[in-house]
Amino acid sequence: KDKEIKVLGLSWNSIDDTLSFTCTEKTQKKISKRTVLSQINGFCFDPLGLLTPLIVPVKVFLQYIHKMKLGWDMPLPDEASQQWNSIRSNIIGFSKSIPRKALEKDWKAEYILSIFVDSSKRAYACSLYVTTATEHGKVDTQLFTAKSKVAPLKKEQTIPRLELLSIFLGLGVAESTISKSGVKFASKAHNKAGTEYPYIRCNPEQALQRRIRQRRYPEKVWKDPACRCAQGRSQPNVYTSTKHSRSENRREYTQKHGRGSNQLVCELRHRFWIPKEKALCKKTVRNCVTCKKFNSAPFIYPDMGPLPKERVTQAPPFSHTGIDYMGPIAIRLTSGEDEKRHVALYKCLVTRLVHLEVAADLSAKSFLLTFKRFIARRGVPQKIISDNGTNFRLSESIRPIICKRMKEKMRKLSSELLHTTLCEIESIVNSRPLTSIGDQDSPCQFLRVDFIYKDVRLGSTQLTSSDNDEDDPDYRTTPELSSQKEARIAFSETEKLTKKFWTIWKHDYLLELRDRHHLFERRKKSTNRDPQVGDIVLLDQESQLSRCQWPMAVILELITSRDGEIRSVILRTST
C-alpha cells in the first residue's frame, strides 16, 4: 500500500505508473433522492469521465426520481428502490488500473485526436482517444477523457436534436483538451456514417443505450477507438503519408506482384489505415521497376524528315545516284583457289533502278574502274551520294535483307557465273513494282521500276526454239517502218508513252511514297513523352529473349537531327 498514493483524488501507483479505480459504497440507512445524488461521486472520484458507462445509469435514475417530485429526504417507492439496488450492485466492487501516461513524448511523432459521440433518448455523451504514431512505426491508442449528460426535461427531445447536442458536447471537450494539453494534433475529419466506417463495433458511447455489467465491461474501450471495420478483428495501425507508409506499400506490393492498385488497397486495409491510400498505392504500382519492364511502352518515333528533292524531282535515270558496297563474296577461280569479290551497288534515287558492278577489292582503283563502267552504260550522273566511307562499304547493321540473302546464295561461284548472276539479280530488282495503277474496280496494273525501258521486259528467261514458231497461226511479225512519216508517228507514240509513265510516277508513286514516309516506325502502343537524359530504358534487340531479360541502359546524350527531332541517343549499358 505504500506504493499507492492519492494524487488529485486518484490512486496512483508510483512503481507501475498506473491509476487505479475502485468503486465502494457508503453505509446508508434509507434510500432517498439525497442519498442517490451523494452516491454519484461517492462510488469513485472520476474527473476524467473514464467510468462513464457505469455512472450514466445512476444519472438517468436520478432524473427518473426527480420526475416523481419527491422530497430530498423522502424514501423511494418499492419499485424505484429495487431498481436502485440493481444499479448499485452493478457498480460496487468494480476495480480497474490503467496507465497514467497517455502520450509518447517524441517530437517526430504524430498525434491524432479521435472524437466519438453518440446519444439515446435518455442521455448523450462523447469520448476522446489519442493515437500516437512514432517515427519507428509504433502506434498506441489511449482513452483520454469522456463526458456524459442526461437528456433535458424542458421539452420533448428528438434523436436528431440529441445527436446535435452530443456533437456540441464533443466539440467543447475537444477544444478544451487541445488548448490545455499543449500538443499539436493532426487535423483530420471523418464521419462514421460515411464509406470509411460502414460498421462500427464496440463504441463506448453505445453503452448509454444499454446497461453494462461490470464483469462484461469491454476491455477494448480503454485502448481501442471505435474505428474498426467489420472486415478486421483489431484496430488497424494508423500510418500517414510518410516513409513508413511508402515502405509498407512497397513491401506488400513486392510480395504480391501482378496485383493492381485497387487490390493493393484492399490488402492493406485489413492491417493498416493510411490516409490517401489510393493515391499512394497508385504511385507505388507506377514506380515498380518490375512492372515497368512489362508494361512500359516504347518512345514514339518522330516523323521522318522531309525527303530530299532528288527523290521527288523528275530527272533522267541515274541523274542522282547513291553508291554503296556489298560483300565480300567468295568465288572460286579456275585454278581451284578461293578469292573474295565485292559488289558496287549504284541506285537511282528517282526511279529506284539498280546497277551492280563487280569490284576486285576495296581499293580506290577498283572503285574507279566500276565507276567508269557505270558511266559508260548509264551516263554521267549529276549528283552522287555515298556514306562517305573510305571504301563505301555498307555497314553490317544497315545492310538490306536482299543483299544479305544474295550474299548467302552466292558462295563459291566462278568469276563468270558471278557476273551472270549479278545481271540476273539486277533485272529482277529492276522489274519489281513501285505502285499500283487505277482504282479497286479496274484490272490490277503496276508501275515497275523499269518503266523507262519501253516495250522491254527485264528478267531472266529460258531461250527455246519454240519462242519464234512461224507455223503458229497466231504468230505476227513486227511491222516494219516503210516511210519517214511512220517513223515520226512511232517516235511520237513512244514519247507519249514515256510522258504517261512519268505522270503515273508523279501522281501515284510520289503520293504513296509520302504516305509510307509518314507511317514509318509508327506503333499502336507507344508513349508521347520525349526521351530525356538520365532515363533508364530497355534495349529491344529483336532476339528470342523475353521482355524481362532485355538489357537496361541509361541515356547519356540526345542526338538532334537537322529538323530538330530526336531520332538517336547515346546509351551506357552495364557491359
Q: Is residue 380 part of a domain?
A: yes
| 416 pLDDT above the threshold of 80 | no
Local confidence band at 199 (pLDDT 50, 70, 90 cut-offs):
very low
Question: What's the CATH number where 357 sits?
Answer: 3.30.420.10
290 and 335 both lie in a single domain: no
The verdict on residue 441 lying in a domain is no
The pLDDT of residue 304: 67
User: Do 313 and 379 have their domain in common?
Assistant: yes
Q: Which pLDDT does position 427 carry in this prediction?
A: 63
Q: Assess if residue 344 is contained within a domain.
A: yes
273 lies in the same domain as 336: no
CA separation for the pair 54, 204 (Å, rounded): 11
- Per-residue buried b or exposed e for 50-66, using 16+ beta carbons within 10 Å of the residue's own CB: bbbbbbbbbbbbbeebe
Cell numbers that stand for 519 in this block: 507511317
3-class DSSP state for residue 565?
A: coil
pTM (global) more than 0.85: no
Q: Lowest mean pLDDT: which of 108-112, 161-165, 236-240, 346-350?
A: 236-240
Residues 27, 89, single domain; the answer is yes
- DSSP collapsed to 3 states, 443-469: CCEEEEHHHHCCCCCCCCCCCCHHHHC
Q: Among 392-401, 419-428, 445-454, where is mean pLDDT lowest?
A: 392-401
Q: Is residue 444 part of a domain?
A: no
Please tell me which residue, 172 or 540, carries the higher pLDDT value.
172
Separation CA 387–CA 395 (nearest Å): 9
Name the residue with higher pLDDT: 440 or 309.
309
Q: Express each pLDDT in 33-62 by its tens digit.
A: 888 888 776 777 888 888 888 888 888 888
Please compute the mean of the pLDDT values over residues 464-483 and round it to a whole number.
53
Q: Are 289 and 327 members of one domain?
A: no
Residue-number span of the structural domain to which 249 is assigned: 239-295
The pLDDT assigned to 204 comes to 46
Residue 226 in this model has a pLDDT that exceeds 50: no
Residue 275 belongs to a domain: yes
pLDDT value at position 457? 46
Q: Which of 36-45, 114-123, 527-536 has the highest mean pLDDT?
A: 114-123
State pLDDT tens for residues 229-256.
333 444 455 454 455 555 555 555 555 5
Residue 384 banded pLDDT, cuts 50, 70, 90: confident
- CA gap 261, 288 in Å, rounded: 11
Instruction: Provide the domain count of the chain.
Output: 4
25 and 76 together in one domain: yes
As a whole number of Å, the CA-based R_g of the chain is 48
pLDDT for 95 equals 80
**Can you tell me the distance from the alpha carbon of 350 to that of 344, in angstroms, rounded to the nearest whole number?**
19
Nearest to 111 by CA among 27, 186, 16: 186
**The domain boundary residue, chosen from 100, 120, 146:** 100
CA-CA distance, 339 to 331, in Å (whole number)?
6
pLDDT of 125 higher than 60: yes
Same domain as 323, residue 248: no
Residue 437, domain member (yes or no): no
Question: Which of these three, 386, 410, 434, is where a domain ends?
Answer: 410
Local confidence band at 298 (pLDDT 50, 70, 90 cut-offs): confident
State the DSSP code for 299. B
- Show which of 45, 65, 100 is a domain's final residue: 100
Residue 247, all three cell numbers: 515502405
Is the domain of 77 the same as that of 6? yes
Higher pLDDT pick, 335 / 402: 335
* Domain-embedded: residue 132: no
Q: Is the pLDDT of residue 200 over 70?
A: no
Looking at residues 163-167, what average pLDDT do you find? 89
